[in-house]
Structure 1
Amino acid sequence: MSGASGVSGVSRHRVAVIAGDGIGQEVMPAAIDCLDLVAGLHGLDLDWHHLDWGSDHYRAHGRMLPVDGLDILAEHDAIFLGAVGVPDIPDVETLWGLLIPIRRRFEQYVNLRPVRTLPGVRPPLADSGPIDLVVVRENNEGEYSEIGGRMYRGLPEEFAVQEAVFTRRGVERVARYAARLAASRGGRLTSATKSNGIVHTMPFWDEVVREALADFPEVELRSELIDALAASLVLHPARYDVIVASNLFGDILSDLAGAITGSIGVAPSANLNPEGRHPSMFEPVHGSAPDIAGQGVANPVGQIWSGAMMLDALGHPAAAAHLVAAFEAALAGGTRTRDLGGRASTTAFTEAVRGHVEDLARTGEHAGPADPGGS
């Protein structure tokens, strides 16, 4: 991984860009447009390296990325991903051919997904209290393992076996990350479990999480069964601060949490290697959305917010806060895309954000404690 370099006080970062499929091709240039504007105002140089990997590459070469693709990514400070997935290629090919190899090769063991009520975005819940929580998802092991297989395909006795893998190191490091995050916020950590029904891995998860939290007396730990937690998240989302969960549970909970704030189209995420030994990857949660791809109506907030998380992770919290304040101002001013009940196109929303970036730079109002990544 290369480090940031500076000339005449300018911090420079090499960023690999994979726009991917569907609306990724639309929201990626929108986000880069906003990021470049903010970067210039904060003395940053984002050196974008565009890589045309994804489903088109798969159709041409039988792979989602080149044989040396991971080595190419390793030369960057961060990875900025749009979306992958198309109807005519199985998801198992697109996911295991690109996302999961990146997450595992670069030890991106924390999937960080902030969720909060945004200005001008009306949640679908009857309880309209403000939501501000973060899901910390274990990102390298758990239920998403490669261990298992199928036998007797096509016969009546066909069967499939999928093994979940939980290691003490894997659970402990994500639990400690979540505890540090909770200590910097409201001091409340909820651990998602299912130890009453999954009799080996989930009790192990519970034990290791409790042991890890012994070093954080200032953090209140509560374990909740995943089914009850999912229901409570809908009924009482304001109760939650930080949620730590296994790979599968975290994946489901973060999508659910994003939806209850008004649209999964605004949800960002970061795949983090917290120690900084490898590049981290930043991507919106919404996926490639082939049903609206090419119509110019995609919501770019998830991609823009993911870009703000990238700025924060690269060591530029003021620039990140500036960008978050700008898209929040655009939403508060009534500029909203179709998924939020508005009529703005992707381009129109992007222009509104750019306008607020410049306005906030003039007034200095972006200098407040806006939190791009929930930490």
Structure 2
Amino acid sequence: MTKHHIALIPGDGIGTEVLPAARRVLDAVGDFSYQEFDWSCERLAREGAMMPPDGLARLRDHDAILLGAVGAPAVPDHVSLWGLLIPIRRGFQQYVNLRPIRARGIDMVVVRENVEGEYSEIGGRLGRGTPDELAVQESVFTRKGVGRVAAYAFALAGRRRGLLTSATKSNGIVHTMPFWDEIVAEHAAAHPAVRWEQEHVDALAAKFVLDPGRFDVVVASNLFGDILSDLAAAVAGSIGLAPSANLNPERAFPSMFEPVHGSAPDIAGQGVANPTGAIGSAVLMLEHLGLDEAARRVTDALSKTSARTPDLGGSATTEEFTSRLLSLL
């Protein structure tokens, strides 16, 4: 069996508690070596940056990256995220943010465009502190960027139930969303076996709540995908349990895997954080590395464990949950 070299970034808060749990699970089903990086808000306070200037170069030769959580109450979110998470996503062209949601009769995947769209760096502020102060934020949609995420989503739908839903808002956003719609339609023609539809994002959000079981693959821009995937996870039971993958499908760069939950400073250090999201993210990593049998074993064990942490009304600690899961493995 090939030994895979994994970069670990525990990050902040409960990230330092759930990532060790995910590592123990990985070691139970595969052969891995690890290099851990202390990149975090603590490092920001200590050294003035979330990660060093050569951070991407240090990660470049790893097979994958496993991230715990990012954020601290004393650090503005745009500082922590733009200092670590977003540079990795963009520097390594992890243009697919994959968020599967499986629970309560729901089995959908949100495919979020991950490196452009509404989350661009283009813009600025004028007249700071004056009554006429203004802020401008530009969205950036490229044919390449929309096309490649649409192609990925259609191919994924073809391997699943054959239904793709495209999130749009072309009735109100006059340039970027019609552009998005046109490119999605072009890719639909290349996948005749996939049924597809487009939904305005506000109506789609309502249908996520009212009838989530009807959806299979949902493809969306950076902002819309971010919101919809969190909503879907909450509808399925808890955003704290959801995994995600930041994929470079061409494998020119390492992909990064992370739980959707944040650093949860309110429970950090108490030993009660639920590691399901981190372990589920490790499952996505196993699948990405071609270790499908190992991924299946972990998924089966997760479905059978009776341990419940306090967030789900139980009393199990992080350690107890992990130990019971390992006993099933």
Which amino acid in 1 is paired with 2:267? I
Q: What is residue 55 of structure 1 aligned with on the other side?
A: 41
For residues 190 and 57 of structure 1, the distance between their equivalents in structure 2, rounded to whole angstroms, comes to 41
Q: What is residue 210 of structure 2 aligned with on the other side?
A: 235
For residues 283 and 214 of structure 2, the distance between their equivalents in structure 1, rounded to whole angstroms, comes to 26
Deviation at 1:215, TM superposition (A): 0.3
For residues 299 and 23 of structure 2, the distance between their equivalents in structure 1, rounded to whole angstroms, comes to 14
Q: TM-score by structure 2 length? A: 0.99
SS of 1:315 mapped into structure 2: coil
Question: Are residues 1:32 and 2:33 paired?
Answer: no
SS of 1:143 mapped into structure 2: coil
Which amino acid in 2 is paired with 1:211? E
Question: Are residues 1:71 and 2:57 paired?
Answer: yes
> Contact 1:262/1:340 (CA < 8 Å) preserved in 2?
no
SS of 1:47 mapped into structure 2: strand
Alignment of 1:10-159 (within 5 A): 10-39=1-30, 45-117=31-103, 130-159=105-134
For residues 174 and 311 of structure 2, the distance between their equivalents in structure 1, rounded to whole angstroms, comes to 41
Q: What is residue 310 of structure 2 aligned with on the other side?
A: 338
SS of 1:11 mapped into structure 2: coil
> Contact 1:17/1:51 (CA < 8 Å) preserved in 2?
yes
Query: Which of 196, 214, 236 is the equivalent residue of 1:221?
Result: 196
Deviation at 1:64, TM superposition (A): 0.5
Question: Are residues 1:186 and 2:177 paired?
Answer: no
> Contact 1:149/1:160 (CA < 8 Å) preserved in 2?
yes
Deviation at 1:297, TM superposition (A): 1.1
Deviation at 1:328, TM superposition (A): 1.2
Question: Are residues 1:306 and 2:292 paired?
Answer: no
For residues 10 and 316 of structure 2, the distance between their equivalents in structure 1, rounded to whole angstroms, comes to 22
Deviations 1:226-283 (A, max 9, x none): 0000000000000100000000000001101111111111100000000111000000
SS of 1:149 mapped into structure 2: strand
Deviation at 1:34, TM superposition (A): 1.0
Deviation at 1:335, TM superposition (A): 1.3
Q: What is residue 276 of structure 1 aligned with on the other side?
A: 251
Q: TM-score by structure 1 length? A: 0.87
SS of 1:115 mapped into structure 2: strand
How big is the alpha-carbon RMSD for the aligned residues of Structure 1 and Structure 2? 0.7
For residues 178 and 259 of structure 1, the distance between their equivalents in structure 2, rounded to whole angstroms, comes to 22
Which amino acid in 2 is paired with 1:144? Y
Deviations 1:200-237 (A, max 9, x none): 00000000000011100000110000000000000000
Q: Which runs of 5+ in 2 are unaligned?
A: none
> Contact 1:283/1:306 (CA < 8 Å) preserved in 2?
yes
For residues 265 and 342 of structure 1, the distance between their equivalents in structure 2, rounded to whole angstroms, comes to 15
Q: What is residue 323 of structure 2 aligned with on the other side?
A: 351
For residues 54 and 126 of structure 2, the distance between their equivalents in structure 1, rounded to whole angstroms, comes to 32
For residues 91 and 16 of structure 1, the distance between their equivalents in structure 2, rounded to whole angstroms, comes to 23
Displaced runs of 4 or more, over 3 A: none
For residues 141 and 220 of structure 2, the distance between their equivalents in structure 1, rounded to whole angstroms, comes to 12
Deviation at 1:344, TM superposition (A): 1.0
Deviation at 1:38, TM superposition (A): 1.3
Aligned length: 329
Question: Are residues 1:251 and 2:226 paired?
Answer: yes
SS of 2:269 mapped into structure 1: coil
For residues 13 and 124 of structure 2, the distance between their equivalents in structure 1, rounded to whole angstroms, comes to 31
Deviations 1:63-120 (A, max 9, x none): 1001111100001110000000001011111110101100011110000000010xxx
Q: Which runs of 5+ in 1 are unaligned?
A: 1-9, 40-44, 118-128, 358-375
For residues 29 and 309 of structure 2, the distance between their equivalents in structure 1, rounded to whole angstroms, comes to 22
Deviation at 1:327, TM superposition (A): 1.2
